[in-house]
């Protein structure tokens, strides 16, 4: 049994031969993503991210090279889709909208023969500067920063009448 209930489809993507890096990113951001994101949420996708990997950022690797970090990946992007069930993802791919609009769209920008993919589970250790012990998507979860801001606001509201009358000053 995996230690996480969330699976992640990772696509190691190459752009279509002859397509520029800019045209590739533009198609993904302006065409593909807008067509895809609502369908993904309909089928329970928890997170979808695309990490663009143009030559400009790949060149930054030279600044952190060492004997353990010497092989630079040449993929044009890394796309990650997080979901709870393979069945949910399969249902999304069976949706008539997916079949009509998205299936063929991949061939407009992606090198479907060279791109690779895999599915694994997620273990999350740090998120948003906070140590984590696993991955959670709880809509009722409130961040520590938001709670702190809320408590400061409540304190201000409680003290405002005293400030307004001059009994205390800040």
Q: Which residues pair with 10 in a beta bridge?
A: 80, 118
Return the bridge partners of 67, or none.
Answer: none
Q: At 81, which helix (H) or strand (E)? A: strand 77-83
Residue partners of 10: CB distance under 8 A and separation at least 6 = 78, 79, 80, 117, 118, 119, 120
Domains of the chain plus CATH, in order, are 7-158 (3.30.70.100)
pLDDT tens column, 53-80: 999 999 999 998 888 888 899 999 999 9
In angstroms, the CA 27 to CA 122 distance is 28
What does pTM read for this prediction? 0.74
pLDDT digits (tens, 9 = 90+) for 104-134: 999 999 999 999 999 999 888 898 999 988 7
Closest residue by Cα to residue 13 from 45, 49, 39? 49
């Amino acid at each position: 049994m995996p230690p996480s209930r969330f699976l992640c489809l990772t696509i190691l993507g190459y752009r279509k031969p002859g397509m520029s890096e800019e045209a590739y990113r533009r198609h993904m951001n302006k065409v593909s993503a807008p067509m895809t994101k609502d369908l993904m949420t309909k089928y329970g996708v928890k997170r979808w991210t695309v990490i663009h990997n143009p030559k400009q950022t790949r060149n930054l690797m030279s600044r952190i090279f060492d004997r353990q970090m010497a092989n630079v990946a040449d993929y044009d992007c890394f796309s990650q889709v997080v979901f709870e069930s393979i069945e949910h993802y399969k249902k999304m791919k069976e949706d008539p909208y997916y079949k009509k609009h998205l299936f063929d769209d991949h061939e407009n920008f992606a090198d479907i023969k060279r791109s690779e993919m895999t599915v694994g589970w997620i273990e999350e250790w740090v998120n948003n500067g906070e140590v984590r012990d696993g991955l959670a998507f709880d809509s009722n979860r409130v961040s520590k920063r938001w709670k702190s801001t809320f408590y400061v606001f409540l304190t201000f509201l409680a003290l405002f009448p005293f400030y307004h009358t001059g009994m205390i000053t800040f």
